[in-house]
Amino acid sequence: MARWEPGARERLVVAAVELFNEQGYDATTVAQLAERAGVTRSTFFRHFSDKREVLVAGQETLSRLLAEGVAGAPAGAGPLAAVAAGLERASSHMGPLNRDLGPRLEAAVAASAELQERDALKRVGLAAAMSAALVARGVPDPAARLAAELGVLAFKQGYARWSELDDTSGLAEHALAALDELRAAAATLD
């Protein structure tokens, strides 16, 4: 086992997705994850506090990118335009590994109530980050929370579409299209 081989975090995520799908979340141990990733247990715990955290590895980064995009939107941008800027910023950091893992990650989460709970908490965290960035821009709280929730839903829908396709499209175009669809759907609610 290579002690300082780069990419341990990414290998652990891939190993978790594979093992959770092969044998289930409950039946998978940290030792198995570490072995599959080619790292030691102590390396696992340097990166993650427990096996559940492996599947939400990028949440903090994603929250930060979404909030930075919202904050960096043009001064006159409305709440959904600012959310769109957040989606574009976050999407620009998603690469082939993210795309490849999408369907398998979704399957692993769907098969475990514990992972579904953690996934729901992740969505709450992403919405909170965007909502706080919108409030900092002067958007009233209820509108900020609604726009942020629409942004999270658009990201999730766009990511699902993007990961299912085998083409050169980027995540941003799918997330922004989903946001436009949600905006149109919201307009019909009156």
Q: What is the pLDDT of residues 125-164, one digit of tens each?
A: 999 999 999 999 999 999 999 999 999 999 999 999 998 8
Kindly indicate whether the domain formed by 58-187 is annotated with CATH number 1.10.10.10: no
Most distant pair of Cα atoms in the chain: their distance: 61
pTM of the model: 0.87
CB neighbours of 187 closer than 8 A, spacing ≥ 6? none
Q: Which CATH number fits domain 8-54: 1.10.10.60, 3.30.450.20, 1.10.760.10, 1.10.3720.10?
A: 1.10.10.60
Residue 43: exposure state from Cβ atoms within 10 A (0-12, 13-18, ≥19): buried
Give me the helix-helix angle, 113-136 and 79-91, nearest 10°: 120
Residue 53 pLDDT class (50, 70, 90 cuts)? confident
Residue ranges per structural domain of the chain: 8-54, 58-187
Q: Which two tokens stand for residue 34?
A: 């570490």
For residue 5, what pLDDT is reported?
62
